[in-house]
Amino acid sequence: MTYDKDNIFAKILRGEMPAVKVYEDDQTLAFMDVMPQSPGHVLVIPKTEAEDLFDLELKAGTAVLRTSQRVAQVVQEVFQADGIMINQFNGPAAGQTVFHYHVHIVPRYEDVPLRRHSGDMEDIAVLEEQAAKIRQALGES
């Protein structure tokens, strides 16, 4: 496949679509997933065009890993999660639905099943409240 410059994450990076941001630097953006599997579900993307892991430059991958590690640690603390699930899908058969490389940070709790990652969008006010807690803990208010 060829990178689609009109995918939703590319539009978010260009400011053409809204996102509830939790962290941003010159190489990455972290924002709330609008269809969270668990409260505090965050996505981390590179600011470069990369469809999947195989299309990702090493420098961008390193930046995404660094941001993912920092954000995941804060998400686990803020949401008092028992663990953190880190997911990354490559290709439709693996479950990738947005073809811009991204990492899912999903808080997990003992004996609490994940919600489906479906078309049911979370209330933006809820996402804003969660993001504010993450930003504060990151020192990004």
Q: Does the structure show a pLDDT above 90 at 141?
A: no
Report the alpha-carbon distance of residue 18 to residue 75 in Å, rounded: 21
Return the CATH number of the domain spanning residue range 8-138.
3.30.428.10
Q: Is 117 a catalytic residue?
A: no
Report the pLDDT value the prediction gives residue 115, as an integer from 0 to 100: 87
Domain residue extents for the chain? 8-138
β-bridge mates for residue 103, sequence order: 44
Q: What pLDDT shows up at residue 1?
A: 67
- At residue 92, the 3 state secondary structure works out as helix
* Percentage of the chain exceeding pLDDT 70: 99
- Residues present in the chain in total: 141
Q: What is the pLDDT of residue 52?
A: 97
Q: 41, 100, 102, 104: which is the annotated catalytic residue? A: 102
pLDDT in tens, 21-68: 999 999 999 999 999 999 999 999 999 999 999 999 999 999 999 999
Average pLDDT, the chain: 96
The pLDDT of residue 137 is: 97
